[in-house]
Amino acid sequence: MRGTVRADVRGAVRGAVRHRRERGAAAVELAMIMPVVLAIILLVVQFALWFHGRQVADAAAREGARLARIDTDSWESDATSRAEQVLRAVGPKLLEGAAVTAWDEDGRRGVEITATAVQVVPLLPERTLTITARFGGPVECFRPDDGSEGCP
């Protein structure tokens, strides 16, 4: 019985010494893992901003393309101003350097928007955050029922 007590006391003393040696280990582990956790959080936020910026650019290009397809004389200015208006209304600070361009190819018209998403992670190359949205379709025009040519 007496030997068992000594063994228990020795075990308790060893445990106390080991506990004293491991003091602060949790703080060191947290200090080592926290930069990794923060980097992952920033990358998730960066991806979310890029994805949202892409959705905003798509919506603006779609709205501009809707006006570009109407057969009027001022289709270019109408389409680009509408796309810029949507960009300003939905995401004024979300896309940097947004360039709106109207295009006309083989009876199809549309709008293309090129921009850069807001950068949260400073070490990412800028071209990885580039967003390009291009929408268009055939020109809509009135065709009379009598069969005469109504479109150019």
- Quick check: is 112 in a domain? yes
- Quick check: is 68 in a domain? yes
Nearest to 98 by CA among 110, 88, 106: 88
- In the predicted structure, residue 127 carries a pLDDT above the cut 80: no
- Per the structure, the complete domain to which residue 54 belongs is given by 2-138
Q: Could you tell me how far CA 52 lies from the centroid of its own chain?
A: 5
Using one digit for the tens of pLDDT, what is the confidence trace for 47-81?
999 999 999 999 999 999 999 998 788 999 999 99
- Quick check: is 150 in a domain? no
Q: 42: exposed, middle or buried (C-beta count within 10 Å: 0-12, 13-18, 19+)?
A: middle
- Quick check: is 133 in a domain? yes
Helices (H), the chain: 2-21, 25-68, 75-90
- Quick check: is 11 in a domain? yes
What pLDDT, on the 0 to 100 scale, is given for residue 65?
Answer: 95
Using one digit for the tens of pLDDT, what is the confidence trace for 80-122?
999 999 999 998 889 999 999 999 998 899 999 999 998 888 8
Using one digit for the tens of pLDDT, what is the confidence trace for 30-51?
888 999 999 999 999 999 999 9
- Quick check: is 88 in a domain? yes
Q: How many domains does the chain have?
A: 1
- Quick check: is 149 in a domain? no
- Quick check: is 148 in a domain? no
**Token duo for residue 110:** 């549309």
Model-wide pTM > 0.85? no
